[in-house]
């Protein structure tokens, strides 16, 4: 689009491409709803008025809202490729997302980020990338890759890379850790997202002053109010696991609402299909009492301004023609969706016949069985440490249990819900296997295994019998990554995740069904955990208290050190 031609259309000297007539324009800049005829040319909003156009569409009084923006999402958590993700969210009004490629980067490094960028170029959903700041996330486990400051500097030159993703190492920022400061210096004046749960007072001052200007980890209104008062943007998260909308709404006022916006963080296939995406958060926010115009701003303009995406977020002259047509400002059900001036969805269906497939990636499951010792635990005492699962939480308890010993070996004790848990290193071929016990899964027989294990995503398994655990691990290896439930030498349910061990190449609906099959199969083996694979994925996260397990062994988060299984 040339400026000369734009001005000709804006003056009315030449026709626009499309005129959306008789529309109620939700003007997030003025805070008003205006009855207008909206002109669009070459994917750009011309404005409203008495314009000629080659085509006219009568909105018949429907509302026009700027396209929704998800300000922070890990696309890998949907477990599907970008094309399938786009099929789910575009028809619901999400036209842009800001993603942190933290998960795939911890497996594949720069190659994983390039994979996301390449996939994004082939779909109508606009994907902006915040570079992962914590790869590896911790030094307590073996990860697939490392991104230092110079790697990030190189990646910042890529189109659609707009800043630095969630800085989880807030102690490193506050205490001036050199490698952390180097990454902040590379980001310069670009947006840097935060991740600092409960950080307050002087440490928060230091964190914000280092250039970190948003946070999605607030859980209470008091914490949110302090961060807002000190200049942070408040990301209001309502995902599949962490749901903070209701707790944070009291912190939003007329004076600070322009510093708040919606994010999903993680959204699983079932929730995407059954509830929705940003449209779901809008519905819930308004039902909880948030003003409709404020809610729309938080789903559009506020996120655009935070990330300096100044061609998005509003339906005003010169901005990109991304819009959603809805019947009202309560349900936000998308009747039509436009991206860059093209209708891409109607009545919940994508109008494009087929989206391009994803490029191939190498296998990321590398377990050298010749190096792997067996997973038996030689009895070296009568009392043993065990991870205590806390229902619906990612924190765990540190338990001490009486060991069940047979022939000199510690074994699972399903009668006391005490099961063996193992983490197999899958990236570097080290042969590392961390072995421990966990209480809370409830399995009376069988085993579960998965390559989704935050944050390094090694291969994690839990089960009653050593042979079943090994059978499950080999089944996942054969798929090139994924999740399985086994009993004996029989696979009860499986979900292949061949892309980095995190992403399926199956349609979203089939992934949703297979995830449900996994849950049902686990339940048939006695598991009482609502989402056993989500719970399992966090047993290997050694930055969340209390006791966790990595490929290097049992880790006590409070002591910040590895500990023996035996007390």
Ordered structural domains, the chain, with CATH: 3-61 (2.30.40.10), 66-310 (3.20.20.140), 377-562 (no CATH)
Decide if 549 contacts 539 (C-beta within 8 A). Answer: yes
User: Average pLDDT of 216-245?
Assistant: 93
**Rounded average pLDDT over 93-107:** 96
Backbone angles phi, psi at 462, to 5 degrees: -135, 140
Q: Which residues contact 32 (CB under 8 A, 6 or more apart)?
A: none
Torsion of CA 524, 528, 531, 535, to 10 degrees: -120
Query: Which tokens hold the place of 367?
Result: 């377990």
Kindly indicate the confidence band of residue 2, based on its pLDDT and cuts at 50, 70 and 90: confident
CA distance 162 to 304: 12
pLDDT (tens digit per residue) in 462-499: 999 999 999 999 999 999 999 999 999 999 999 999 99
Which pLDDT score is estimated for 155?
96
More confident residue, 359 or 63: 63
**Average pLDDT value for residue range 67-81:** 96
Is the model's pLDDT at 152 over the cut of 80? yes
pLDDT score, position 437: 98
In 3D space, the residue among 383, 397, 437 whose CA is nearest the CA of residue 557 turns out to be 397
Residue 373: predicted pLDDT: 77
Q: Encode 81-100: b = buried (16+ Cβ within 10 Å), e = exposed.
A: bbbbbbbbbbbbbbbbbbbb
pLDDT value of position 1: 61
pTM equals 0.94
From 123-127, 286-290, 356-360, the region with the lowest mean pLDDT: 356-360
Per-residue pLDDT, 4: 94
pLDDT greater than 90 at residue 230: yes
What pLDDT, on the 0 to 100 scale, is given for residue 357?
67
> CA nearest 397: which of 285, 291, 545?
545
The DSSP letter of residue 76 is G
The pLDDT of residue 80 is above 80: yes
Structure tokens at 393: 């939480």
Which residues on neighbouring strands pair with residue 392, listed in sequence order?
none
Dist CA 502 CA 494 (whole Å) = 13
**Helices and strands (H and E) in the chain: how many:** 17, 31
pLDDT of amino acid 458 = 98
Lookup: tokens for 508: 């979203």
* Residues contacting 106, CB < 8 A, separation 6+: 132, 135, 136, 137, 143, 144, 145, 455, 456, 457
More confident call, 111 vs 138? 111
Decide: 135 and 108 in contact? Cβ < 8 Å. no
* Most distant pair of Cα atoms in the chain: their distance: 91
Q: What percent of the chain has pLDDT over 90?
A: 91
pLDDT of residue 394: 82
Average model confidence (pLDDT) across the chain: 95
Q: What digits encode the pLDDT tens for the residues 527-551?
A: 999 899 999 999 998 888 899 999 9
Which tens digits make up the pLDDT trace of 176-229?
999 999 999 999 999 999 999 889 999 999 999 999 999 998 889 999 999 999
Helix axes 221-229, 201-209, angle to 10 degrees: 50
- Note whether 173 and 210 are within 8 A (CB): yes
């Amino acid at each position: 689009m040339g400026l000369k031609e734009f001005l000709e259309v804006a003056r009315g000297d030449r026709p626009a491409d499309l005129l959306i007539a008789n529309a109620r324009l939700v003007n997030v800049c003025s805070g008003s709803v205006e009855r207008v005829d909206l002109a669009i040319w070459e994917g750009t909003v011309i404005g409203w008025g008495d314009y000629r156009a080659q085509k006219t569409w009568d909105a018949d009084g429907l509302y026009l809202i700027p396209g929704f923006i998800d300000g922070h999402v890990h696309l890998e958590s949907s477990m599907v490729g970008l094309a399938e993700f786009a099929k789910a969210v575009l028809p619901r009004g999400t036209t842009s997302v800001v993603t942190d490629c933290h998960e795939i980067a911890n497996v594949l490094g720069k190659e994983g980020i390039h994979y996301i960028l390449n996939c994004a170029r082939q779909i109508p959903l606009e994907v902006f990338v915040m570079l992962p700041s914590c790869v590896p996330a911790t030094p307590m486990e073996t990860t697939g890759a490392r991104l230092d400051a110079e790697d990030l500097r190189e990646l910042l030159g890529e189109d659609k890379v707009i800043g630095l993703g969630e800085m989880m190492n807030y102690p490193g920022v506050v205490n001036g850790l050199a490698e952390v400061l180097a990454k902040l210096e590379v980001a310069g004046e670009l947006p840097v997202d935060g991740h600092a749960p409960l950080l307050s007072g002087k440490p928060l001052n230091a964190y914000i002053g280092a250039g970190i200007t948003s946070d999605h980890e607030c859980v209470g209104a008091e914490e949110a109010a302090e961060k807002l008062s000190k200049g942070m943007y408040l990301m209001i998260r309502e995902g599949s696991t962490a749901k903070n909308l209701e707790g944070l709404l009291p912190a939003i006022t007329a004076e600070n609402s322009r510093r708040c916006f919606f994010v999903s963080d993680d959204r699983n296939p079932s929730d995407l299909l059954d509830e929705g995406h940003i449209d779901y958060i809008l519905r819930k926010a308004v039902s909880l009492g948030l003003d409709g115009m404020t809610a729309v701003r938080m789903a559009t303009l506020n996120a655009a301004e935070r990330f300096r995406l100044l061609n998005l977020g509003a339906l005003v002259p010169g901005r990109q023609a991304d819009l959603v047509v809805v019947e009202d400002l309560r349900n936000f059900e998308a009747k039509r969706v436009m991206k860059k001036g093209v209708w891409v969805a109607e009545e919940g269906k994508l109008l494009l016949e087929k989206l391009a497939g994803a490029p191939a990636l190498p296998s990321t499951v590398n377990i050298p069985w010749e190096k792997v010792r067996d997973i038996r635990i030689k009895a070296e005492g009568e009392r043993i440490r065990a991870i205590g699962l806390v229902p619906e939480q990612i924190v765990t308890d540190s338990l001490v249990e009486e060991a069940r010993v047979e022939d000199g070996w510690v074994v699972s004790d399903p009668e006391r819900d005490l099961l063996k848990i193992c983490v197999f290193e899958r990236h570097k071929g080290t042969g590392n296997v961390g072995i421990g016990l966990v209480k809370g899964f409830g399995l009376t027989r069988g085993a579960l295994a998965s390559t989704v294990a935050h944050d390094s995503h090694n291969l994690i398994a839990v089960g009653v019998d050593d042979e079943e655990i090994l059978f499950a691990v080999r089944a996942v290896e054969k798929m090139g990554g994924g999740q399985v439930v086994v009993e004996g030498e029989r696979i009860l349910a499986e979900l292949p995740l061949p892309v980095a061990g995190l992403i399926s190449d199956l349609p979203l609906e089939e992934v949703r069904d297979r995830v449900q099959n996994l849950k049902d199969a686990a339940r048939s083996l006695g598991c009482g955990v609502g989402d056993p694979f989500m719970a399992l994925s966090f047993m290997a996260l050694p930055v969340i208290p209390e006791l966790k397990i990595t490929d290097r062994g049992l880790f006590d988060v409070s002591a910040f050190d590895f500990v023996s299984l035996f007390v």
